[in-house]
Amino acid sequence: HIPLFLLVFLLAFGIVYLASANRLNLAYHISSAIQQKRFLLYCQPIIDTHSGDCTGVEILLRWHDERQGWISPDVFIPLAEQHGLIQSLTRYLLIQLVQRLYLFPRTCDFTISINIAAEHFTQGQILDDLQTHWFHHLPAPTLVLELTERTALERIDNQLLTRLHQLGARLAIDDFGTGHSSLSYLQQLQPDVLKIDRSFCATIGTDAINARVLDSMISLGKDLGLKLVAEGVETQEQVDYLKQRNVECIQGYFFSMPMPLEDFPQWLSNYRR
Applying CB under 5 A, the residues found at the interface with Ca ion are 115, 146, 174-175, 231
Q: For the CB of residue 105, give the shortest distance to ligand C2E in the complex, in Å.
A: 21
DSSP 99: T
**Collapsing DSSP states into helix, strand and coil, what is residue 273?**
coil
234 binds, among ligand C2E, Ca ion, none (CB under 5 to 8 A by kind): ligand C2E
Measured from the CB atom, the residue of 72 and 166 that comes closer to ligand C2E is: 72
60 binds, among Ca ion, ligand C2E, none (CB under 5 to 8 A by kind): ligand C2E
Residue whose beta carbon is closest to ligand C2E: 252
Helices (H), the chain: 4-35, 73-82, 86-98, 118-122, 125-133, 158-166, 182-189, 198-201, 209-223, 236-244, 264-270
232 binds, among ligand C2E, Ca ion, none (CB under 5 to 8 A by kind): ligand C2E
Please state, in angstroms and rounded to a whole number, the distance separating the CA atoms of residues 12 and 9. 5
198 binds, among Ca ion, ligand C2E, none (CB under 5 to 8 A by kind): ligand C2E
Measured from the CB atom, the residue of 146 and 248 that comes closer to Ca ion is: 146
Q: For the CB of residue 78, give the shortest distance to ligand C2E in the complex, in Å.
A: 9
Q: For the CB of residue 48, give the shortest distance to ligand C2E in the complex, in Å.
A: 16
87 binds, among Ca ion, ligand C2E, none (CB under 5 to 8 A by kind): none
Q: Give 172-175's long-range contacts (Cβ < 8 A, gap of 24+).
A: 172/113, 172/144, 172/145, 172/146, 172/147, 172/229, 173/146, 173/147, 173/149, 174/115, 174/146, 174/147, 174/148, 174/149, 175/148, 175/149, 175/231
Q: For the CB of residue 82, give the shortest distance to Ca ion in the complex, in Å.
A: 17
Measured from the CB atom, the residue of 72 and 166 that comes closer to Ca ion is: 72
CA distances from 65 to 33, 42, 95, 111, 191 (A): 8, 16, 21, 30, 36
Angle among Cα 153, 154, 155 to the nearest 5 degrees reads: 110
Residues near ligand C2E, by CB under 6 A:
44, 60-61, 72-74, 77, 86, 90, 93, 115, 117, 148, 174-175, 198, 231-234, 252-253, 258
93 binds, among ligand C2E, Ca ion, none (CB under 5 to 8 A by kind): ligand C2E
